[in-house]
Amino acid sequence: MSKLVALNEHGLPIGEDHPKARYTNHEVDLVLALRDQGASYGEIARKMDMPKATVQAICNGRARCQTPYQYSK
């Protein structure tokens, strides 16, 4: 069975499908959910075992902020 890969408007893989992705889309969703619940960057970083700067980048839209333009098999 083929996996659908999310692509940006330039046809490049994004999110967990990007070759250099360290975190799954689910982990990123959890980071955003924890932040919405009022957790601090430090609390989220400890809970998710990721650098505080990464948590800040995800929450501020500097990392993992693209939305899929299309999908490919």
Q: How far is CA 44 from CA 20, 40, 60, 63, 68, in A?
A: 22, 6, 14, 16, 25
The domain limits of the chain are 5-72
pLDDT digits (tens, 9 = 90+) for 15-58: 998 999 999 999 999 999 999 999 999 999 999 999 999 999 99
Which is higher by pLDDT, 49 or 63? 49
Q: Could you tell me the two tokens for 56?
A: 């800040």
What topology does CATH give the domain 5-72? Arc Repressor Mutant, subunit A (1.10.10)
pTM for this prediction: 0.85
What's the CA gap between 36 and 68, in Å, rounded?
Answer: 22
